[in-house]
């Protein structure tokens, strides 16, 4: 049976400051590194992964390297892919969520942004664009089968939840929350959600 385990990256300074990261090369902070180590140990006790995939952005690469240290995989064996990147928020990258919510609500995280899923920020991409690239790659992994780990970002997890549950992007963005290193699990060739934002590794 196909199992795809999807984890968000560990905490960064911009997460702590409430800034929109997009594709910025933001590293993990001390908390994020501790989270990634704990996640790796927890995953190693529960899964034997056939392959590890990750976003090629800095914060996900650092998370993946620390997680892989606990698995039967070398960090260099992971497949780092643009398909798993967070949304490119363009000119709004680095602004706080509060600034964007107040000045450019269609590109924040609230109802206005969810309802404007097809809007493209300057030099960025729409939520629909993110949905399409993430779900295309997910469907490829389903076809390949096996047990796979994907280390990505909050936005792509929302898109996968929308894709698998048959819901719309707006509902997925508004009704879900994914913590740093939160784990969401999809099982089956016709996948279903079996776990969502699990943080047992933190116990």
Phi, psi (degrees; rounded to nearest 5) at 187: -130, 150
From the candidates 9, 131, 153, 163, which is the catalytic residue? 9
Element (H, E) at 80: strand 79-81
Identify whether the C-beta of residue 60 lies closer than 8 Å to the C-beta of residue 71.
no
Let me know if 9 is a catalytic residue. Answer: yes
Q: Is 129 exposed, middle or buried (0-12, 13-18, 19+ CB in 10 A)?
A: middle
Annotation marks residue 86 as catalytic: yes
SS3 at position 51: strand
Distance (Å, whole) CA 54 – CA 22: 15
Indicate the angle between helix axes 127-144 and 154-165, nearest 10 degrees: 70
Selecting among 11, 65, 86, 125, the annotated active-site residue is: 86
The Cα 180–Cα 131 span in angstroms is: 20
Q: Which are the catalytic amino acids?
A: 9, 86
């Amino acid at each position: 049976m196909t199992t795809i385990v999807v984890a968000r990256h560990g905490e960064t300074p911009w997460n702590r400051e409430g800034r929109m990261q997009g594709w910025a090369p933001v590293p993990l902070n001390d908390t994020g590194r501790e989270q990634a180590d704990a996640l790796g140990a927890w995953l190693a006790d529960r899964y034997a992964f056939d392959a590890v995939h990750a976003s090629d952005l800095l914060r996900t690469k650092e998370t993946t390297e620390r997680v892989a240290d606990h698995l039967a995989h070398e960090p260099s064996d992971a497949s780092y892919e643009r398909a798993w990147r967070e949304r490119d928020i363009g000119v709004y990258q680095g602004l706080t969520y509060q600034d964007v919510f107040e000045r450019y609500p269609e590109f924040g995280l609230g109802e206005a942004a969810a309802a404007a899923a097809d809007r493209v920020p300057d030099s960025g991409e729409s939520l629909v664009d993110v949905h399409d690239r993430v779900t295309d790659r997910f469907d490829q992994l389903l076809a390949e089968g096996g047990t796979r780990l994907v280390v990505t970002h909050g936005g792509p997890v929302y898109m996968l939840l929308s894709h698998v549950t048959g819901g719309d992007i707006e509902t997925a963005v508004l009704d879900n929350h994914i913590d740093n290193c939160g784990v969401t699990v999809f099982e089956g060739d016709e996948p279903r959600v079996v776990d969502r934002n699990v943080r047992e590794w933190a116990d």
